[in-house]
Amino acid sequence: MKNLNISTVYLLSVLLLSAQVVLAQKKTTLIDQYFTKAMKDGFAGVALVAQKGQIIFAKGYGLANREKNIVHDQNSVFDIGSITKQFTGAAILKLEMEGKLKTSDLMSKYLPNVPAEMQKITLHHLLTHSAGLPGGIGQDEELISAQAYLKRLYSERLRESFGSFAYSNAGYSLLAMVVEKVSGMSYEKYLQQKLFKPAGMTQTGYVLPKWKNENIVIGYRGKTRWGATHRKSQYHKGVTYHLRGNGGIMSTVLDMHKWYKAIKNNTVLSKTATKKYLAKHMLIREGSHYDYGWITEQKEGREITWHTGGNNYFMNYMGFYPDKDLMFFVGCNTGKNPTPYAQKIDEIMHGEFKAMDASLAKQYTGTYQLPSGQKFQVRFNANNQLVIRTNRSELYMAFLGTGKEDKKKAQIYDNKTREMITPLLKQDYAAYAKIESQYVTNSSAAEIEQGVKEDFGRMIQMLGKPQSIKVLGSVARQGGKYYLTASRITFAKAGTQTNMYFFHYWNGKRLMDIDSRSEEDMIKRFDQQEGKKFFAKSNQLAIELVTKDKVPAMKVGDQLILKKIAASK
């Protein structure tokens, strides 16, 4: 073989580099097209992608401030939520580097009056959500001192989850107190001096950065304006310990990229500390581990480190592949789950992304009708999902059911739920608590009454007085082991009616959990498997797009045919 001369080698290098540039441009074009389409589904926010030390994509979509018509851009400042935890984890390891503590230390070494049953908790337990502490002990907006926070937390019992993973914001609030105790600085001041300044981050913090007002992002959910986090949570009065250390820090995508580079280049932590920082400390589930403020997850053929964060208005995802030097961040201010958007970036960057056939979506988008006569809309979003709103009884049962429901059991759960929530119409919290306390084991009627009085009272203050209730139905989960009951409460204020939906999770005679959702959240999404087949993992329901008598239709499971009766306008 003849030796290649210098000019030939140079030419090959130029061609290779040119091909890489073209490929990168093609990927960023796909990302831009994807988010442009996602805007039509309600996405508004910022996306950033960096590869091999360089930002290859950073762009904003939609409005950061609707009232002032300010659009998102790479300088937009928004709440990053629980992504804050990675700063707390790094701060603890920085203090360990400085010889001021050890992650194996008991938290009682740094915090006062720790009750006997909590004496066994170490900093490592707090860092890995394995301390057996509750998820939280109050609302983000409640101003509370360290002393008052500890008093309230210490009144809680230690959970059976001690030693295993159970996500806890409270644990990271305690870590913020440890940072302050050991460093002699406020939590934010320590982050600024020891983490942010070395990383070159000037736009990250609670109150210390000098942000421009026009860069501050406002959070929304549907048509509801929530506001800017630092104003809403009254940071000027002192950052509450409901957020300090576990959430609520504000930043930009450019600063978060600087943070990623600081991790990668060991700018803040030593190589040894960084290795410990990103180690797989605590099993979450098969293939997924919690580090110190991060999650490391095994995907098919690759392993990603990531974390999400949000407050139902601001929602964020940050992830990176250490071995590929690939990092991406998605921030949203309209309450949208950021994970599907981030996953699409991941797919595009790995050459796996496939857009849905536009003609298929056009053909099957429109108005359908159940056998009962109930009409509803079907559409398809940027994530190749078939989307149906399930805010009515027939739709809830048709698309959230499994087909394995025991009608008698379902009726029992319907009746229990109706009996429980009916007193809320008259704001009779004592009556409500008396009923709920029959089905739970970890709270007294007095504790339940106090909690629902605060939460439901806040809802009334925002939405108006409750007017009516309706139980939508109960559907089976895990073959009937659990049942999920949905109900709707309608509120009225100043002539405007608003619906809120409540979900009760039942296991036999026990009530496992309750959560609430807005009208905007009453949407079921079916993932495209291939071609005309769609599937929902949560209830194992399959939908196939078919035609009947030359009319587009949907085959739901093996039993139901839904005919398209009109095209969407």
Convert the pLDDT of each residue in 74-86 to its tens digit: 999 999 999 999 9
Q: What is the pLDDT of residues 308-359, one digit of tens each?
A: 999 989 999 999 999 999 999 999 999 999 999 999 999 999 999 988 888 9
- The string over 435-446, giving b where at least 16 C-beta atoms fall within 10 Å of a residue's C-beta and e elsewhere, is bbbebbeeeebe
Q: Which amino acid is at 415?
A: N
What length does the chain have?
569
Q: Which two tokens stand for residue 94?
A: 């920085």
Q: Among 21-25, 207-211, 293-297, 503-507, which is the least confidently predicted range?
A: 21-25
421: tokens are: 């929530």
Confidence check: pLDDT of 366 > 70: yes
Residue 104 has pLDDT above 70, yes or no: yes
Sign of CA dihedral 5, 10, 12, 13: positive
- Let me know: does 486 contact 396? Beta carbons within 8 Å: yes
Tokens of 441: 């084991």
CA distances from 130 to 31, 161, 168 (A): 37, 7, 8
Strands 510-518 and 523-530: unpaired
Which residues are bridge partners to 445 per DSSP? Answer: none
Q: Which pLDDT score, from 0 to 100, does residue 82 have?
A: 97
Q: For residue range 490-499, what is the model confidence (pLDDT) as tens digits?
A: 999 988 999 9
Spatial distance between the Cα atoms of 255 and 252, rounded to a whole number of angstroms: 5
pLDDT at 471 over 80: yes
- In whole angstroms, give the CA distance from residue 76 to residue 66: 14
pLDDT at 328: 98
* Range from 54-58, 245-249, 350-354, 503-507 carrying the lowest mean pLDDT: 350-354
- Is the confidence at residue 508, as pLDDT, over 80? yes
Q: What is the rounded distance in angstroms from the CA atom of residue 4 to the CA atom of residue 1? A: 9
Residues 188, 193, 196, CA angle at the centre, nearest 5°? 80
Q: How many CB atoms are closer than 10 A to CB 168?
A: 24
Which has the minimum average pLDDT: 94-98, 502-506, 526-530?
526-530
Encode pLDDT of 152-205 as tens digits: 999 998 998 999 999 999 999 999 999 999 999 999 999 999 999 999 999 999
Work out the angle at residue 454's Cα, subtended by the Cα atoms of residues 452 and 460, and round it to the nearest 5 degrees. Answer: 90
DSSP annotation of 403 reads S
Question: Smallest Cα–Cα separation from 107: which of 156, 179, 165?
Answer: 179
- Residue 321 tokens read as 């592949």
pLDDT per residue over 313-327, tens digit each?
Answer: 999 999 999 999 999
Q: What SS3 class is residue 81?
A: helix
Judged on CB neighbours under 10 Å (0-12, 13-18, 19+), 511 is buried
Residue 437 CA neighbour count, 13 Å, CB half:
16
**Class for the domain spanning 397-521:** alpha beta
DSSP H or E stretch at residue 380: strand 375-380
Question: Looking at the predicted structure, is the pLDDT value of residue 99 above 50?
Answer: yes
pLDDT at 1: 45
Whose tokens are 């993932």? That residue is 527
pLDDT tens, 208-255?
999 999 999 999 988 889 999 999 999 999 999 999 999 999 999 999
H or E segment and range at residue 564: strand 560-567
Model confidence at 415: pLDDT above 50: yes
Q: Identify the CATH number of the domain defined by range 81-349.
A: 3.40.710.10
Residue pair 86/100 in contact (Cβ under 8 Å)? The answer is no
Collapsing DSSP to helix, strand or coil, 547 comes out as strand
Cα–Cα distance measured from residue 286 to residue 374, given in angstroms and rounded to the nearest whole number: 41
**What does the pLDDT read at residue 569?**
44
pLDDT at 94 over 60: yes
Return the SS3 of 328: strand
Query: b/e string for 454-466 if b means 16 or more Cβ within 10 A?
Result: eebeebeeebbeb
3 — pLDDT class (breaks 50, 70, 90): low
pLDDT of residue 14: 54
Whole-number Å distance between alpha carbons of 309 and 318: 9
Element containing residue 262 per DSSP (H, E)? helix 253-264
Report the C-alpha gap between 268 and 497 in whole angstroms. 51
Q: Which amino acid is residue 58, in one-letter code?
A: A
The span from the CA of 363 to the CA of 551, in Å, is 10
pLDDT > 90: percent of the chain:
79
Between 6-39 and 339-349, two packed helices, what is the crossing angle to 10 degrees?
Answer: 160
Say which DSSP state 216 is in. Answer: B
* Alpha carbon distance 392, 474 (integer Å): 13
Separation CA 169–CA 405 (nearest Å): 36
What confidence category does residue 568 fall into, taking pLDDT thresholds of 50, 70 and 90? very low
pLDDT digits 0-9 by tens, 252-267: 999 999 999 999 999 9
Any residues with CB less than 8 A from the CB of 18 and at least 6 apart, and which?
none
CA torsion through residues 163, 164, 168, 173, sign: positive
Supply the mean pLDDT for the chain: 92
pLDDT band, very low/low/confident/very high, at 565 (cuts 50, 70, 90): confident
Q: In Å, what is the CA distance from 129 to each residue of 102, 124, 167, 198, 202?
A: 17, 9, 5, 28, 29
Q: What is the pLDDT of residues 136-162, one digit of tens each?
A: 998 898 999 999 999 999 999 899 899
Residue 408 phi/psi, 5° resolution? -70, -45
Backbone dihedral region of 200: left (phi > 0), alpha (psi from -120 to 50 degrees) or beta? left
Give the pLDDT of residue 23: 62
Mean pLDDT calculated for residue range 286-308: 96
To the nearest 10 degrees (0 to 180), the angle between helices 169-183 and 146-154 is 140
Cβ neighbors of 495 (< 8 A, separation 6 or more) are none
Count Cβ neighbours within 10 Å for each residue of 284-304 and write b for 16 or more, e otherwise. Answer: beeeebbbbbbbbbeeeeeeb
